A = this chain, B = another copy of it.
Amino acid sequence: MTVIDSTSVISPPVDVCVVAGTEHPRPDGQDRYTISEVAAYTGLSAPTLRWYEEIGLLPDVERSHNGQRRFGNRDLDWLAFVRRLRMTGMPVADMVHFAGLVQRGEDTFGERREILERTRREVVVRMAELQETLAVLDAKIDFYAGAPQASERA
């Protein structure tokens, strides 16, 4: 695995809000990952990473002197957040929109907050539904486990 090469560039607009201290495979300063490294770290395939970049979900990926992608810790953080958003069920198109807002800078803090608040509400609803589903599953599991005696039968 070839590592480091190109020299640093003025940072493009980023998420700006990296919340928790998620550990990176390499410390800042030595964080130039190849696409296959990022694939290994994130579980996303290399084509998916290219596609994310293409559609604008992973913007401003740097390139080495010979045109190969060099991802940084910033990209890993963003991908981790994208993974979270994906878990909420947010469509990729909406994530692309959000990524666009991030790139436009602080002016979009308001809209970003609204989006995340809406997402938050959806997650809460989803969790409540899953909680109910858990109850249904438990009831059925009990029924199947203790077959003859259990609750109702049709």
Contact = CB atoms under 8 A, between A and B. Distances in A.
A16 B87 CA distance: 33
Interface stretch (A32-40, A51-59, A146-154): A146-154
Nearest to A113: B144
Nearest to A73: B154
Interface in A111-137: 112-113, 116-117, 119-120, 123-124, 126-127, 129-134, 136-137
Contacts of A117: 141
Identical copies of this chain, number: 2
Q: Is the interface of A mostly helix, strand, loop or mixed?
A: helix
Interface residues of A, number: 48
7 contacts: A11-B154, A14-B154, A20-B139, A74-B154, A81-B136, A113-B144, A123-B137
